[in-house]
Amino acid sequence: MATMTPGVLGSFVHVDAATDAIRALKAQGHTDLTVYTPAPNHEIEEVLDHPVSPVRLFTLVGGLTGCAAGFAMTFWMSNDWPLLVGGKPIATVPPYVVLGFELMILLGALSTVAGVIIMSVVNARKRVPYSEKFSDDHIGVFVPCRAEQAAAVESLLKRAGSVEVTHAA
């Protein structure tokens, strides 16, 4: 664990204990917390008060690109080698709406996933300690701090109701 980010990791089984701790930490200027939960939790989201995820921009740009690509592809390909079918115009809007729509969804969805991955990786704090209990029923709060602050943080966490506190250095 030599490469870990130095700090203190506290585990909670009670959600109000965790929110208390987070509130207290934030009040003390510890804003750069990493909070683990087995499932998304509104109370914790509330106290963390993060800005809205920029993933929606990925969705928007992907969707618009897909839609434009769908129409551009169909119109260009139809006119690249004009072939007459069924007495209909060479390039027609109504049938191509379907393709514009499908590509909008496809690219929108793929770019959303890409957005989730990219944003998660970009914003992630590297080498944060983790416990397997956090995927089960514990809430983890990691407070990055220098060794000299560790004791104060630990006592804060314990006060809030942490069931277990470990130090990473």
Residue 78 binds other proteins, judged by CB under 8 A: yes
The answer for residues whose C-beta is within 8 angstroms of residue 150's C-beta and 6 or more apart is 6, 7, 8, 167
Cβ-based nearer residue to other proteins, 43 or 169: 43
Stretch that binds other proteins, among 2-10, 23-31, 135-143, 148-156 (CB under 8 A): 135-143
Alpha-carbon separation of residue 99 from 66, 70, 158 (angstroms): 9, 5, 58
Stretch that binds other proteins, among 1-9, 23-31, 126-134, 146-154 (CB under 8 A): 126-134
Residue 64 binds other proteins, judged by CB under 8 A: no
- Closest distance between other proteins and the C-beta of residue 25, in Å? 13
The answer for residues whose C-beta is within 8 angstroms of residue 65's C-beta and 6 or more apart is 107, 111
Between CA 128 and CA 78 the distance in angstroms is: 54
Site string for other proteins, 18-57 (x = CB under 8 A): ---------------xxxxxxxxx--xx--x-x-xx-xx-
